[in-house]
Amino acid sequence: MVNLGDVFPDFEAETNKGPIKFHQFLGDSWGILFSHPADYTPVCTTELGRVAQLAPKFAERNVKMIALSIDSPESHNGWIKDIQSYCSLKGDFPFPIIADDKRELAVKFGMLDPDEVNAQGIVLTCRAVFIIGPDKKLKLSLLYPATTGRNFDEILRVIDSLQLTAKYKVATPVDWQSWSKVMVVPSVKPEEFKTLFPQGVEVAKVPSGKGYIRKTDAPK
């Protein structure tokens, strides 16, 4: 398993678009590595179709996407036709799918779902999401069971938060959206407000009298 803040290990793999070296594939971009249980399965079809639909939004954020399952490159390419048909997609499929047919990467990165087994008795990959920064460090990890499809609009929201908080001394509160206010992190001293947040800072009044809830407009 890779912990938050660790450099995500580099690896070589076959994909439906040819061999890759992971760090080289990412370059200076952010990256999302996400696994799915198997090709030609219903929930996975909706997920990869949705990611393909959102590809322009990920590109706007300098994010590269790559999927993974334990199927072969040939299986991936055949299944992509179904995804494109069902999700009304046209043109080239916008991201590669890793063929982890020996399950080496799935085991290495803790992507297996012990409750999801195919007809041959093989444990399948879960619905994992790893977000990796340009520094190649793991910024977020999520593990969903095979029965629950992911919300990739939420992944976009997380990307916005990660990129904003990497640049400014702010944190994003519950249900934050890119147009809403952010929280000033506790390490910022009041005398720094004018320099760091010329747009102003609101300090909430609470019964404790402690001014730790400090809001400001999201820096641009």
- Per-residue model confidence as pLDDT tens digits over 178-204: 899 999 999 999 999 999 999 999 999
pLDDT at 145: 85
Q: What are the helix (H) ranges across 54-208? A: 55-60, 73-86, 104-108, 152-167, 193-196
Tally of CB atoms within 10 A around 92: 10
Output the pTM of the full model.
0.91
Mean pLDDT of 164-191: 96
Tens of pLDDT, residue by residue over 129-151, are 999 999 999 999 999 988 899 99
| Maximum Cα interatomic distance, the chain, rounded to a whole number of Å | 64
Tens of pLDDT, residue by residue over 46-93, are 999 999 999 999 999 999 999 999 899 999 999 999 999 999 999 999
Name the active-site residue from 10, 115, 135, 153.
Answer: 135
Q: Which domains does the chain have, with CATH numbers?
A: 12-151 (3.40.30.10), 168-216 (3.30.1020.10)
Average pLDDT value for the chain: 93
pLDDT at 199: 94
Strand runs labelled E in 40-126: 63-69, 97-99, 112-117, 123-125
Examine the residue annotation and report whether 71 is marked as an active-site residue of this protein.
Answer: no
**35 beta partners:** 68
Sign, CA dihedral 17-33-144-174, equals negative
Residues sharing a CB contact under 8 Å with residue 177, sequence separation 6 or more, in sequence order: 157
pLDDT at 119: 65
Residue 120 has pLDDT above 80, yes or no: no
Strands 170-171 and 138-144: unpaired
Name the active-site residue from 44, 71, 113, 126.
Answer: 44
Instruction: Give the DSSP letter string of 7-19.
Output: BPPP-EEEETTEE
Examine the residue annotation and report whether 44 is marked as an active-site residue of this protein.
Answer: yes
DSSP state of 149: -
